[in-house]
Structure 1
Amino acid sequence: MRFPEIGQLALALLTQFGLKVIGAIALWIIAQKLIEFSLKLIRRAFRSQNIEPTLISYLLNIISVTLRIVLVVAILGFFGVETTSFAALLAAAGVAIGAAWGGLLANFAAGAFLIIFRPFKVGDFITAAGVTGTVTEIGLFTTDITTPDNVLTIVANNKIFSDNIQNFSANPYRRVDLLAQLHHDVDHNQAIALLKTRISQIPNVVSNPAPDVEILTFTLAGPVLAVRPYCHNEHYWQVYFDTNKAIRETFGEAGYPMPEQRYAFTFPPENGTSSVIPSSVISS
């Protein structure tokens, strides 16, 4: 065969291959646009049916992965690759990957259970797997939680599902737990009445149930009050800090003395009598 004929044949093959490559690229771009458009339509259809946003995101992820796998198989078929053999190879690879990545599949299964049982949804404030924050996304394998200090934490679904879950947004209100130390000489009934009146005026404190203010325990400094207003989870920290301010301002306006620890000392007997220093004299 002459060199000119070889050159023409090589040129024809390269041209044919180049056209296939261009066609594959065009097919990939067009198919990607169609997949994105289809996902938008599906999302819109799901939202019109008032389906849970978390479930919508989960289903769209599955559909997206499935469509892209089909697209890859179609492009391989366009290049003349035997797709049936590729499907068998893909199935075998799936079995091997499944055996090697058992933990990944466990996360996938846990994600499905989280969607089915719905212990929480996107936007809920939770504690799960030792992480506390707001759920921003529930994915196929992981859940994204943004902590109160605005740090995105990605937690494996299996770790969440196998651990205890606290959902602070599930109930209409939650309790704020604080303590207030009183001086020995303060009338606790008066202090309780003043605090209840002041705390009930704090914005976003719910009236039902009413704030709890009671004696919790006793220390060397005096009785300790449990101060417990109730509020919606969204207002927890605002009520928390405002209640602390209310405790200090209420006790200051009432003129209550600063709590102090008191001790009584008994000295060895002298001339048959013992010497005792009263606790009201020595304090620290």
Structure 2
Amino acid sequence: MNVNEIIEKLPGLGVEYTIKIILAVAIFVIGKWLAKSITRLMAKGLEKKGIESTLSFFVTNILYYLLIVVVIIAALGQLGIQTASFVAVIGAAGLAVGLALQGSLSNFAAGVMLILFRPCRVGDYVDVAGVSGTVKEISIFATTLLTVDNKTVIVANSAITSGNIVNYSTQSTRRVDFLFGVSYSADIKKVKSILLEVAQSDERVLKDKEVTCGVVELSDSSVNFVLRPWVKKEDYWGVYFDTMEAVKARLDQEGIEIPFPQMDVHLDK
């Protein structure tokens, strides 16, 4: 093809490529608008279903950028650029990122499970992954706990879902378990009466639930009693501390001995 033929075809090529560029720009602009509209509808749908805002934001962002990638590939294809290589590169990059972030992805999957199934919520007092505390935040990758001594502990979500989750806040009532030991010389019926009296005299102990009290063990140096009253969950620790103190005071008042470990040392001359 000589120079004259090229010059003759330039106007046609200019028009052809101008149309392709205009169509590519139109595909990008319309595609971007559609991507925003779809993600907006997705966000509203997730909000109506009560999905946590953190998860909703993350999912809609991923969806938006995936749609933008599709739009860009479509626009490049309209320009006549071979997009198969782009798709292959994106796929390889996605695989590499997935392998590099497999630990983070497992935390993400666990975070989705925690947010969807809600075994614990913000404000609940829980025991997870060997840590006890109040849930302050559940994010996509980790959960933040505040311990009773005011320490902030950040636990990976995968560590939470891979073990047992003990939630102390889901039920409105809790049973307080006590173990008291008295000497073998003590009157069993009297001890039982004292323990029941102390528990039932506390206004915070629920009257519609039976207080369990009885001998649970005959140990080496003591007769062990259990005392199990029921309380509202917010009264648990108050009842626990006050009952321990009240039982000790009453047993001392009644002259009932609480045995303690002793050691006899014999010296041979």
Tell me if TM exceeds 0.5: yes
Whole-Å Cα distance in 1 between the matches of residues 252 and 62 of structure 2? 63
Q: Does 1:144 align with 2:141?
A: no
Read off the aligned partner of 1:99 and give its amino acid letter: L
CA distance in 2, matches of 1:215, 1:255: 19
Kindly indicate whether the alpha-carbon contact (under 8 Å) linking 1:179 and 1:227 is maintained by their aligned counterparts in 2: yes
How far did 1:168 drift? 1.4
| Runs of 5+ unmatched residues, structure 2 | 1-39, 70-82, 264-269
Distance 2:120 2:203 in 1: 27
Q: What whole-Å deviation, never above 9, does each CA across 1:160-209 have from its counterpart, x for those lacking one?
A: 11111111112222222221111222211121122112112335322232
> Could you say which residue in structure 1 is the equivalent of 2:197?
197
For each residue in 1:135-178, what CA deviation from the matched residue of structure 2 results, as whole angstroms up to 9, or x when unmatched?
Answer: 11110111111122221111111111111111111222222222
Q: Which residue of 2 aligns with 1:250?
A: 250
Distance in 2, Cα, partners of 1:90 & 1:134: 42
Any conservation in 1 of the 2:54–2:140 contact (CA below 8 Å)? no
What does residue range 153-168 of structure 1 map to in structure 2 within 5 Å? 153-168=153-168
**Residue of structure 2 in register with 1:172 after alignment:** 172
**Whole-Å separation in 2 of the counterparts to 1:229 and 1:186:** 23
Q: What code does the residue aligned with 1:144 have? A: T
Task: Give the corresponding residue for 2:103.
Answer: 103
Q: Deviations over 1:96-123 (max 9, x none)?
A: 2111111111111111111222211111
Alignment partner of 1:148: what SS? coil
Q: Is the 8 A contact 1:203 1:239 kept in 2?
A: no
Structure-2 change in CA distance of 1:184 and 1:113 (3 Å): same
Check 1:145–1:236 CA distance in 2 against 1; reply closer, same or farther (3 A cut): same
Structure-2 change in CA distance of 1:97 and 1:229 (3 Å) = same
Secondary structure of the 2:206 match is coil
Give the equivalent residue in structure 2 for 1:59: 56
Distance 1:184 1:152, change over 3 A: same
Distance 1:135 1:90, change over 3 A: farther
Q: What does 1:82-101 correspond to in 2, within 5 Å?
A: 93-101=93-101
Provide the secondary structure at the position in 2 that maps to 1:121.
Answer: coil
Instruction: Describe the shift of the 1:157–1:257 C-alpha distance in structure 2 as closer, same or farther (beyond 3 A).
Output: closer
CA contact (8 A) 2:107 2:158 kept: yes
Separation in 2, partners of 1:50, 1:245: 49
Measured at CA, do residues 90 and 235 of structure 1 come closer, stay the same or move farther in structure 2, by a change above 3 Å? Answer: farther
Partner of 1:133: 133
Query: Does structure 2 retain, via aligned residues, the 8 Å contact 1:220–1:262?
Result: no
| Aligned residues of 2:111 and 2:138 also touching (Cα < 8 A) | yes
Say whether the 8 Å CA contact 1:199–1:246 is kept in structure 2. no
The equivalent residue for 2:75 is none
What secondary structure is seen at the aligned counterpart in 1 of 2:217?
A: strand
Inter-partner Cα distance in structure 1 for 2:251 and 2:142: 48
Tell me the residue number matched to 2:210: 210
Q: Bigger CA drift: 101-110 or 180-189?
A: 180-189
For residues 232 and 64 of structure 1, do their structure 2 counterparts lie closer, same or farther at Cα, with a shift above 3 Å needed? farther
Q: Equivalent pairs: percent with the same residue?
A: 34
* Contact 2:181–2:258 (Cα < 8 Å) also in 1: no
| DSSP 3-state at the match of 2:144 | strand
Q: Give the Å deviation of 1:223.
A: 1.0
Give 2:9's aligned residue: none
Deviation at 1:66, TM superposition (A): 7.2
Q: Is the 8 A contact 1:184 1:259 kept in 2?
A: no
Please give the TM-score of this superposition, normalised by the length of structure 1. Answer: 0.61
How far apart in 2 are the matches of 1:215 and 1:118? 40
How many aligned positions are there? Answer: 210
RMSD: 3.5
TM-score, normalization: structure 2?
0.64
